[in-house]
Structure 1
Amino acid sequence: MLRIERLSKTYADGKRALADVDLEVRRGEIVAIVGGSGCGKTTLLRLIAGLDRPSAGTIAVDGEIVAAPHPKVGVVFQEPRLLPWLSVADNVAFGIAGRPAEERRRIVQGALARVGLLEHAERLPRDLSGGQQQRVAIARAFAAGPQVLLLDEPFSALDAFTRADLHAHLLRLWQDAGLTVVIVTHDVTEAATLADRVIVMRPDPGRVHDEVEILVARPRERGSPAIEGMARTLYAALDEARRPPIREREVEASGLWW
């Protein structure tokens, strides 16, 4: 479904954000990406979305190379990024403006119904709570009919109850529409609750350090012993990812003898 091969990104100032990232995401899978600051998580998501160009390597969706924003790929950012002068319905319709009016109306109603906001269609974003605004952003991404949905820390600014509610909405969308989901998060418990696999990245430059399969049946309960156990496994992998590679540690240790 989504295939990334030897992906690297170096910025104009010489900063190496990513180096030789290989990743395959299967159709209908939820993959979470975790890692400390500087490991290139958001850069990787932007490259998959076609919002930036790689320095080397390829990204393909169903065999089609992604070199620009792709109709099969939708994105939800950390902030909802809604247009404040447009109604909720018009915000959702923004990305499908070229469709016939009746088709557009049907798609918007369906997307809002899926996130439980159909009755708020004519309201302005300022009249909604933070969680409702993020649901509008999810509906907007869903309206374009993506096969791959990318989420960049979409729940990080929300309280625990709103976050749990949005987790439930996301999982329903994933299940009903057969979406493939890639989510970047700093919350390892969130990763363990939502994902089938978690990719742990290491920094300087960003690259894949480990891959952890979440061996907990759905439905999952955040805070359950099984999820907390997986979270501990992820914390251990993150701790290891922050350490220098073994050869670097050996060089540092050998230097103590001189």
Structure 2
Amino acid sequence: MLILDRLSKTYADGTRALDGIALSVEKSEIVALIGGSGCGKTTLLRLVAGLDRASEGAISLDGETIAGPHPGVGLVFQEPRLLPWLTASENVGFGLADLPKAERRERVAHALDRVGLAEHAGRWPRDLSGGQQQRVAIARAFVANPRVLLLDEPFSALDAFTRKDLHGHLLALWEEVRPTVLIVTHDVSEAVALADRAVVMRPKPGRLDDTIPLPLPRPRNPTSTRSETATRQILTALDRSLKPRRARDDTPGEAALWW
């Protein structure tokens, strides 16, 4: 289990980015973090990844405190961040140097096959499309069999068709390895398509505001009544999260126009 215990972050200039984040994520659960700009979603992911230190509170994974980069935690950024001097397969296998060559080749080949890039293993990143590059990044994250996978808006720069295709590849890999997943997204439909729970954050400072369970069977139909209901619930929660507390208390629940 991944546990965030009263996590806070204050920067050197006095900016309070996060305040008292308390969140438990079960093994193999997919949780979407969603909220308006400035609510600290990426900051929270950086703390869990060990790329930054919390000002207060603690992070633990299966009882072990995370105070820096951890071998059991993988991260996929918004951009693929592939090494341009390595081929697709070399990028995927970059973190597997300690494994025997035969095992490394087998795991890399399998990961590339699962994201539909087996025939592109020897190509350079510059010769791949944006969607193909992000597939390589996803394969690179999964090939190490992480216990926790963090995704920071990995599909935001892609068109809707490519995004939907990558959702399928991501879930196929998740079904095999079953890591715990935290995904930051601004896309409500993406949260409904992927997550078991949507956690809504409110800004200045970033705090947890609401949680919407998403117990929908997979594969999910975005036009089903249950998906549309979940979308409305998240939009309403987002709308409320961006209002001052007094306005929130005085305003009855309604379908939100978050954008």
Q: Is the 8 A contact 1:76 1:141 kept in 2?
A: yes
Q: Deviations over 1:12-70 (max 9, x none)?
A: 11111000000000011110000000000000011111111100101111111111111
Structure-2 residue corresponding to 1:253: none
Q: CA deviation at 1:142?
A: 1.0
Aligned pair count reads: 250
Describe how 1:115-130 pairs up with structure 2 within 5 A.
115-130=115-130
State the identity as a percent: 63
Q: Is the 8 A contact 1:75 1:151 kept in 2?
A: yes
Change (3 A) 1:227 1:63: same
- If each structure's helix is expressed as a fraction of its own residues, which one has the higher value? 1
CA distance in 2, matches of 1:180, 1:6: 20
Q: Which moved more, 1:27-36 or 1:138-147?
A: 138-147
CA distance in 2, matches of 1:6, 1:119: 46
Describe how 1:20-59 pairs up with structure 2 within 5 A.
20-59=20-59
CA distance in 2, matches of 1:240, 1:82: 38
Is there any run of 5+ residues in structure 2 with no aligned partner, and where?
A: 251-259
Query: Are residue 70 (structure 1) and residue 50 (structure 2) matched?
Result: no
Q: CA deviation at 1:230?
A: 0.9
Change (3 A) 1:223 1:158: farther
Q: CA deviation at 1:249?
A: 8.0
Q: Which moved more, 1:168-177 or 1:217-226?
A: 217-226
CA distance in 2, matches of 1:188, 1:113: 29
Moved over 4 A (4+): 247-250
- The 3-state SS of whatever aligns with 2:181 is strand
Query: Are residue 6 (structure 1) and residue 11 (structure 2) matched?
Result: no
Describe how 1:208-247 pairs up with structure 2 within 5 A.
208-246=208-246
Structure-2 residue corresponding to 1:61: 61
Q: Is the 8 A contact 1:190 1:222 kept in 2?
A: no
Q: CA deviation at 1:189?
A: 1.1
Q: Which moved more, 1:47-56 or 1:239-248?
A: 239-248
Structure-2 residue corresponding to 1:255: none
Q: CA deviation at 1:98?
A: 2.9
Q: Is the 8 A contact 1:85 1:124 kept in 2?
A: yes
Q: Is the 8 A contact 2:28 2:180 kept in 1?
A: yes
Q: Which moved more, 1:204-213 or 1:117-126?
A: 117-126
Query: Are residue 200 (structure 1) and residue 200 (structure 2) matched?
Result: yes
Q: CA deviation at 1:84?
A: 1.1
CA distance in 2, matches of 1:97, 1:84: 18
Query: Are residue 162 (structure 1) and residue 162 (structure 2) matched?
Result: yes
Change (3 A) 1:12 1:116: same
Q: CA deviation at 1:76?
A: 0.5
Structure-1 residue corresponding to 2:86: 86
TM-score normalised per structure 2: 0.93
Q: CA deviation at 1:106?
A: 2.0
Q: CA deviation at 1:165?
A: 0.5
Q: CA deviation at 1:103?
A: 2.5
Change (3 A) 1:6 1:225: same
Amino acid at match of 1:135: R
Is there any run of 5+ residues in structure 1 with no aligned partner, and where?
A: 251-258
Q: CA deviation at 1:248?
A: 9.9
Q: Is the 8 A contact 2:240 2:248 kept in 1?
A: no
- The 3-state SS of whatever aligns with 1:96 is coil
CA distance in 2, matches of 1:114, 1:218: 18
Amino acid at match of 1:217: P
Structure-1 residue corresponding to 2:257: none
